[in-house]
Amino acid sequence: MSDELYIKRCLELAAIAIGNVSPNPMVGCVIVAKGKIIGEGYHQKFGEAHAEPNAVKAVFDQYGPEAENLLKQATAYVNLEPCAHFGKTPPCADLFVKHQLKKVVIGNRDPFSGVDGKGIEKLRNANIEVVSGILEAECRCFNRRFFTRIEKQRPYIILKWAETANGYFATNDGHQKWISGALAKRLAHKWRTEEDAILIGKKTAIVDNPHLTAREWPGKNPVRLVIDKHLQIPQDHHIFNKEAKTIILNELKTDVVDNVHYIQMEDMHFYLAQKVSFQLYLMDIQSVIIEGGAHILNQFLEANLWDEARIFTSANSWTEGIAAPTINGHLQEELNLGSDKLSIYTNDIN
């Protein structure tokens, strides 16, 4: 039971950095000696120290000369297997070997080919006891973005839209008409800080002229992705401002103009969802929110390229409009947000 409690604490620590470590996983580390936590750490930012060296540093900061002896009696808890390769930082498994820890308890084995059991092997070869698979399903769900990118070679895909009580998604005449309320908008901006990118189609960009930034929640802006096959979006639209990096997926050119990156793709009318997904994987985009329009959302649904759908349903009805996409997934959760209802679905067959 104590193993599970410490792994849960690892997840709490790791979650602090959501949105800041991609394409790395979110990892927390807790070091325990004599029944007491002596050090904690988490991976705070991509390219910086991993959770394990931060936790070891915390032990030395707190205990000074005693730290070396304490570590030799200690158990380290980590929600993902310590890395075994040189990347932007040295191998974390080597750090535990260096300090001769007594035991390491792990949530998930790391599926990345540079690790994938090699960290566990290094620890065991150094006579460090290793226990793996503690809260395995919970840890995997927590790092589902990372696991999806490694195992499926595509980003974790979140579909998001708002619909009226009677199932309309947008107006017939192309005029913008807000469906969900202020609480829903604020929550959607929070989600933007947590994911790598946000994607829309040309029509949504032209009609709604969105900023696609996290203006109503503290945190980073996502990369703005727009599908504009023939580069028809006016240059004075918000997506071309300097508030965030923008990538325009198109058939005409590859170029970089300030913070706007144009990426040319071929035959976008064939297998668009598959091509976009693989292109984002190549760019190390680990997660994306797809916000529309209906045509883009339906293409990802038809290709069964989605992992999660977050749907706001308003209490209001319209007499006519464009029908919202139809979701076929597992209803995970329902929440009331003011007069709106939020339904979260997961795709159990992708």
Give catalytic residues, as residue numbers.
52
Q: Give CA angle at 254 (252, 257), nearest 5°.
A: 115
Distance from C-alpha of 213 to C-alpha of 220, rounded to nearest angstrom? 8
The residues, any chain, with a CB within 8 Å of residue 294's CB and separated by 6 or more, are 161, 169, 170, 322, 323, 324, 325
Q: At what angle do helices 51-63 and 2-15 cross, to 10 degrees?
A: 100
- In 183-234, where do the E strands start and end? 197-201, 223-227
Locate 13 and state its tokens. 């620590």
Distance from C-alpha of 86 to C-alpha of 160, rounded to nearest angstrom? 37
Tallying the residues shown for the chain, one arrives at 350
